[in-house]
Amino acid sequence: MIVFGVDPGLTRCGVGVIEAEASRKLSFVHVDVIRSAPELSQDLRLLAIYDGLADQIDEFSPDVVSIERVFAQANRNTVLGTAQAAGLAMLAAAQRGIPVALHTPTEAKLAVTGNGQAEKIQVERMVARLLRLDRLPKPADAADALAQAICHALRPAGALQGGEREQHLTQAQRQWAQAQQRTKRRGPVQRDM
Annotated binding site: 7, 68, 141
- The binding site for Mg(2+) comprises 7, 68, 141
Please say whether the beta carbons of 11 and 38 come within 8 A: yes
Task: Give dist(CA 193, CA 121) in Å, integer.
Answer: 11
Task: Give dist(CA 114, CA 79) in Å, integer.
Answer: 26
Please say whether the beta carbons of 176 and 107 come within 8 A: yes
Q: Beta-carbon neighbour count of residue 38 at 10 Å?
A: 8
Question: Which positions are catalytic?
Answer: 7, 68, 141
